[in-house]
Amino acid sequence: VTPFVGAMAGGMYDLSKKYFSHQKEIPDQSGKSALHQAIISGNDEAFEDVFYLYKLPIVRSWNPFQAAVSYNRLKYAFRLLPFYVGYSFEATALTFAVKAKNQQIFDLLLRFEGGIQYGKYRQFALYAACQLNSVDFIRKLQKYEDGLANLYKMSAIFAAFQNPEALKLVLNDQFRDFGTSPLYSAIQTRMPQETIQILVERFGNVVDKDGFTFLDEMIQSKTVYEVQFKFAKYNLVRAWHLAKLQNYEYGMAYVQRLLGLQDQENFQ
């Protein structure tokens, strides 16, 4: 496709036509097809010619649509969009809009009257928005949470670990009880203390399916965070017994410190 790309980039559309009939379905080394290059160039005449010759093959790759979103070619994006609806790709149209931080296309996609409205498309967009700390996108996607699978809500929490503002948004009351999983993962991956504090406020008193609380998990993982706990004393006593049972001296000392006690005798 190199001759076509060169002719298109140089504005020599008449010359590019000579190459197109032979190259329309052959990508170059970077994956750019003829249609992809027509979109990047912003050449309406080229787009129309290439589009009608290339209709069927475009659904084999998201590259053309990604180019339209990334270069803010709104009219090209919406000419292409119907060919992608219902086509199962993890990297979806809505996700591309989030990654390109293209608010206009994102807003239009949310109102699109096709498969884009269903949760399987939005779940990946939410994950991307959390990774990028795109708060405006997160707020808009949350309006459609009923269509998001619980698994992907959990993924969104993990994706937001490095972005406290995004994390606060996805940890709302509509989320189901995830047990101690988010806290445990944050501990194991040594997330920032601000992240731990936010998660403690949401999941601190939750008991998981095995009966463990966050404090239990922290003691077992040999990780200590100086955060303000809002645990009932039952949880502290439970953590103390766990630490003592497994001979975790640092765990026992930490529980004592949380209670403001200096020795085991006072604790008892």
Provide the pLDDT for residue 90: 42
pLDDT: is 266 or 144 the higher one?
144
Would you say 47 and 38 are in contact if contact means Cβ atoms under 8 Å apart? yes
**pLDDT averaged over the chain?**
68
pLDDT 10s digits, 223-251: 666 555 555 555 666 666 667 666 667 66
Under the banding of pLDDT at 50, 70 and 90, the label for residue 161 is confident
pLDDT 10s digits, 50-77: 777 665 555 456 677 778 888 888 888 8
Under the banding of pLDDT at 50, 70 and 90, the label for residue 28 is very low
- Mean pLDDT for 189-216 is 72
Would you say 163 and 133 are in contact if contact means Cβ atoms under 8 Å apart? yes
Provide the pLDDT for residue 99: 85
The crossing angle, in degrees rounded to 10, of helices 249-259 and 233-245 is 160
Residue 11 has pLDDT above 50, yes or no: yes
pLDDT: is 27 or 164 the higher one?
164
Under the banding of pLDDT at 50, 70 and 90, the label for residue 103 is confident
Provide the pLDDT for residue 263: 53
Would you say 255 and 239 are in contact if contact means Cβ atoms under 8 Å apart? yes
Residue 265 has pLDDT above 70, yes or no: no
Provide the pLDDT for residue 166: 86
Give the Å distances, CA to CA, from 198 to 6, 171, 179: 52, 9, 15
Under the banding of pLDDT at 50, 70 and 90, the label for residue 210 is low
Provide the pLDDT for residue 189: 76
∠ CA(238), CA(203), CA(180), 5° rounding?
70
- Mean pLDDT for 95-112 is 80
DSSP 72-123: T-HHHHHHHGGGTTT---SS-HHHHHHHTT-HHHHHHHHT-SSGGGSHHHHH
The Cα–Cα gap between 32 and 26 comes to 9
The Cα–Cα gap between 7 and 261 comes to 78
Provide the pLDDT for residue 171: 78
Provide the pLDDT for residue 152: 59
